[in-house]
Amino acid sequence: MAEYFLFKKVKNIMILIKNIYKSYRTINGKKNVLSNVSVTIPSGRSVGLIGRNGEGKSTLLRLIGGIDYPDKGEIHRNCKVSWPIGLAGGFQGSMTGRQNVKFIARIHGDGEKVKDIIKYVEEFSEIGEAFDEPVKTYSSGMKARLAFGLSLSFDFDVYLSDEATAVGDEVFKRKAIKAFKDKVGSASLIMVSHSEGILKELCESGLLISKGQAIWFDKIEDALDLYHENNLVS
């Protein structure tokens, strides 16, 4: 507990990940995803999570966002962190998009801003009449667009993105990238993306996830270089 309060006083640390272990039960038994991962993410840094499919990038993002919990270890946040944009599992399927947004806005937002949040999400998501239809009728892309708009309607210190810029057509993708660019400066990003161009465009630092371990790089280009070297060797 004393260590936690000491951490809260360190303003140059945004997120502290300490000795994290995470595993899942599968039909083939227990699968270890993250093993004794410790990372210090400095304040004001936008970070790209890099690694092969199945290495644990989305898992780490969920742990940072607090929607999943480690088997062992601790995560301390010195900031207000969004839920992962692009993961839309938190919606209630029988409720409409509008009802879901209204419900979440009342829980997490200022009561006086609920109408403004609903209007913003409706316009940003661009799902038309489906906004007033049950979410269980949505495609995965529509759910992701709804979640994207909802996340951006709140003022977070750190926005988490899981392939959110890959959602929708090219027009919406450009809109998503611009939305993140607009946030940079007043907020930080921690994002998973398979687009190196987007990672270089939006992130300064990199976190390479490989074989259960995480390696921090101050420069995103250095993380990408090592990622390519590992792929060439394997």
On whether residue 26 sits in a domain, the answer given is no
Q: What is the CA radius of gyration of the chain?
A: 18
Q: What is the DSSP letter of 142?
A: H
Per-residue model confidence as pLDDT tens digits over 86-135: 655 678 899 999 999 999 888 876 667 899 999 999 998 889 999 999 99
Report which residue type is found at 98: R
232 vs 234: CA distance, rounded Å: 6
Q: Give residue 232's pLDDT.
A: 47
CA angle 223, 228, 229 (to 5 degrees): 95
Q: Give residue 101's pLDDT.
A: 92
Q: Give residue 89's pLDDT.
A: 61
pLDDT, averaged across the chain: 85
Q: Give residue 7's pLDDT.
A: 46
Q: Give residue 165's pLDDT.
A: 64
On whether residue 2 sits in a domain, the answer given is no
Per-residue model confidence as pLDDT tens digits over 148-200: 888 888 888 999 988 766 666 677 778 878 887 887 778 899 999 888 988 99
On whether residue 116 sits in a domain, the answer given is yes
On whether residue 104 sits in a domain, the answer given is yes
Domain count, the chain: 1
CA angle 56, 160, 11 (to 5 degrees): 105
Residue 19: other Cβ atoms inside 10 A: 12
On whether residue 11 sits in a domain, the answer given is no
On whether residue 32 sits in a domain, the answer given is no
Residue-number span of the structural domain to which 124 is assigned: 91-153
Nearest to 31 by CA among 212, 227, 215: 212
On whether residue 85 sits in a domain, the answer given is no
Per-residue model confidence as pLDDT tens digits over 190-200: 999 888 988 99
Per-residue model confidence as pLDDT tens digits over 42-87: 998 999 999 998 899 999 999 999 989 999 999 999 998 988 876 5
> Distances from the Cα of 96 to the Cαs of 121, 126, 131, 134, in angstroms?
13, 15, 6, 4
Percent of the chain with pLDDT over 90: 49
On whether residue 121 sits in a domain, the answer given is yes
The yes-or-no verdict on residue 15 having pLDDT over 50 is yes
